[in-house]
Amino acid sequence: MERTKLDLWVGMFVVAGIAALVMLALKVGNLSTYNVSETYQVQAYFTNIGGLKPKASIRSAGVLVGRVTDISLDTDRYEAKVSMSLDKRYQFPKDTFANILTSGLLGEQYIGLSPGGDSEMLKTGDQIKKTQSAMVLEDLIGKFIYSKADGADK
């Protein structure tokens, strides 16, 4: 009887540990904060996406409004085509700005949406035309060094 009771407690402890690991994996994967509801698909083109990855969050005013579903290279334009799935509860004007931002100094990259003032809203299959690519730290450092070198020559 005593052995059965001990086995039961060990089993419950193992199940609780597995549940905690699953919750941790969802939190690290940034998947637990987005509920699955009806969505609409839009695309945007960026000259440089930096470290943006599929399943990255899409935020507006800090609120999670969608996820990146696919990233591919458009060989006609030679730009990154980013497909996004936005929650139908959040409607954005056609002249919305899409910026690739970084949370914190070394955090994950996400897409920030800034709504415009158009009266017509985005719908499935539309393209966000106004985009700003990711800031690449190496490019910024290079520009700074070259600007200092040019200033020293004069």
> Is the pLDDT confidence value at 37 over 90?
no
pTM: 0.69
Q: Which two tokens stand for residue 48?
A: 């440089």
CA distance 45 to 129: 8
pLDDT given at position 91: 93
> Is the pLDDT confidence value at 98 over 90?
yes
When comparing pLDDT for 31 and 61, which is higher?
61
Q: In sequence order, what DSSP letters do the residues of 3-44 get, joined into one string?
A: HHHHHHHHHHHHHHHHHHHHHHHHHHTT-TT-----EEEEEE
Ranges of each domain in the chain: 1-32, 39-142
Mean pLDDT of the chain: 86
pLDDT given at position 40: 93
